[in-house]
Amino acid sequence: MSKLGLSQPLQRALGVLARVVAPLSLVLAVAVVAPRAATQAVSENADVTHFTLANGLEVVVIPDHRVPVVTHMVWYKVGSADEPPGKSGIAHFLEHLMFKGTEKNPDGKFSQVLATIGGQENAFTTADYTAFYQRVAREYLPLVMGFEADRMTGLVLTDANVKPELDVVLEEYNMRVANNPDARLREQVEAALFLNHPYGRPVIGWRPEIEKLNRQDALEFYHHFYTPNNAIVVVAGDVTADEVRALAEETYGKVARVAEIGPRVRPQEPPPTAMRHVTLEDGRAQPSLQRAYLAPSDNSAKAGEQEALDVLAHILGGGSNSRLYRALVEDRELANSAGASYSSSAVDMTVFSIYATPRPHVSLPQLEAAVDSVIDEVASNGVTPEELERAKTRMIADAVYAKDNQATLARWYGESLATGSTVEDVQSWTDQVRAVTADQVRAVAREWLDKHRSVTGYLIREWPKPEEKKS
């Protein structure tokens, strides 16, 4: 790796840092090389590199030399499904608290410096992982890697910075859930679908439990799960594997593992035997229907099932040519919208979802019966060769187009590894989709879209008034 002096923009950024934080020896240790020609494109597969540091940290490098920019992500293999009983929301709360600073880099300085250098940052929590994201010019990669390595085990929390952030999270709950009828229904549908598995509790948490979270809860969760041997770093952009390996050793490689995580053992969902209904009344709501089926994920599906379920979701609900849209919106004029989705990335079981919004003259039971007829038709008679080919072509095209987005590539690999898949699984996905047959699609529809495996949610404005008895 060729080594050059720090660029002038990086020197200016470090000048800002010198005024607000302690010197960052980790940042200064290694300098990256000058940008490459923008004509070089991201590799389809071969250039992706995956390695593990001595402390257990996994690193994935995805070269993309078209522009001198990098996306840097840190994925922790912990989410809401790993929370202790009675502490729902602690994973998401800790995500917020990770921006409260360390001894080297006090509260808010990371974000301040990123803004100064024109960088972007974000973070998000799911049931299975928590991720942190930065997008910066390539010369600032040492900077963000140094920051993230510092807060991996150096977070400083006090009551003074924890309590106000809890108020922020509660306000987020109000905005995203309490004041969103569709989200409230989804919360109840998933709680009814997962009777035993922790996927049944919302990622943001149950409000009465969020209100009781405190500094000690956050620190206990942090010290148990935030350790290099439970993390994955993904770097996509104008870099080489050798450059990133050297930077990773100089930053993350110096972080000691603080806990031994062990396998992710969670209570598993027993096979469902009864169809369930949930009805939520909200005077602000537009009536709608949500259906959730318990379905296998990447990790729990048999060979070929996950890809067949992906194709099935596209055929049933992937746009205006889909079965549900044509039948419910166009042909029978029962719905204003209809669709389906399937999220395959999960450590355990996952959800196959269907949604529809009725036209004013249509009741939700009518709409549900129409949805059932579409699903029964596919399960009984399968899909046409044209539907199959159209769905597969669109899925593969979407994947090819998405590879132009550096952040999307980083997220694909990070999410896959954080939920138990491999780099090879990501790279073979398009071939697996091409191999899906009509018989496989029909088989997964028959096995997994069984109403006994489902919860159906109704969102209504008000309960029907009982008819008055005639005297």
95 is catalytic: yes
Nearest to 370 by CA among 325, 327, 330, 322: 327
**Residue linked to tokens 């996950």:** 306
Three-class DSSP category at 22: coil
Using only C-alpha atoms, the chain has a radius of gyration, in whole angstroms, of 24
Among 48, 15, 170, residue whose Cα is nearest residue 429: 48
Q: Which of 58, 83, 95, 243 is catalytic?
A: 95
- 209-212 long-range Cβ contacts below 8 angstroms, 24+ apart: 209/86, 209/87, 209/88, 209/89, 210/88, 210/89, 210/93, 210/166, 210/169, 210/170, 210/173, 211/166, 211/170
- Cα separation of 60 and 197, whole Å? 30
Structure-token match 């194709």, residue found: 311
Three-state SS at 104 = coil
Our measurement of the distance from residue 458's CA atom to the centroid of its chain's CA atoms, rounded to an integer in Å, reads 26
State whether residue 186 is helix, strand or coil: helix
Q: Which residue, chain included where needed, has tokens 């006994």?
A: 452
Pairing state of beta strands 276-281 and 120-125?
A: unpaired
Q: Following DSSP, what letter does each residue of 400-435 receive, concatenated? A: HHHTT-HHHHHHHHHHHHHTT--HHHHHTHHHHHHT
Residue closest to 30 by CA, chosen among 50, 60, 2: 2
Rounding to the nearest 10 degrees, give the CA dihedral for residues 7, 12, 17, 18.
Answer: 100
The three-class DSSP label of residue 457 is: strand
Q: Which residues are catalytic?
A: 95
